[in-house]
Amino acid sequence: MKNHQWLRKLGVKQLAKMLIHTKEINEGDEDMDGEWYDDYVMYYVCPDNTLTYDEEDAIQATIRWLNSEHIENS
């Protein structure tokens, strides 16, 4: 079995989990004294570039995306 054949047999939730990746973003800021502080936050990134804090939210957003109509980008 080829990989593309295997992918076509996956359930929507399994495929959604495979399409999500994580990204750590520094949301730091200056404090009252003007000192910079780092505040790294991990996000789950969906195929439509939606960012979520929670993996289950990302899975549900990706399932909605997979079940929506495809729009061709020109």
Residue 43, domain member (yes or no)? yes
| pLDDT tens per residue, range 5-56 | 999 999 999 999 999 999 999 999 888 888 888 999 999 999 999 999 999 9
pTM for this one? Answer: 0.80
Rounded CA separation 56/37 (Å):
29
pLDDT at 12: 96
Number of domains within the chain: 1
> 11 with 17: CB under 8 angstroms?
no
Residue 33 domain boundaries: 11-66
Query: Dihedrals φ, ψ of 67, to 5°?
Result: -90, 0
In a domain, 34, yes or no: yes
* In a domain? residue 62: yes
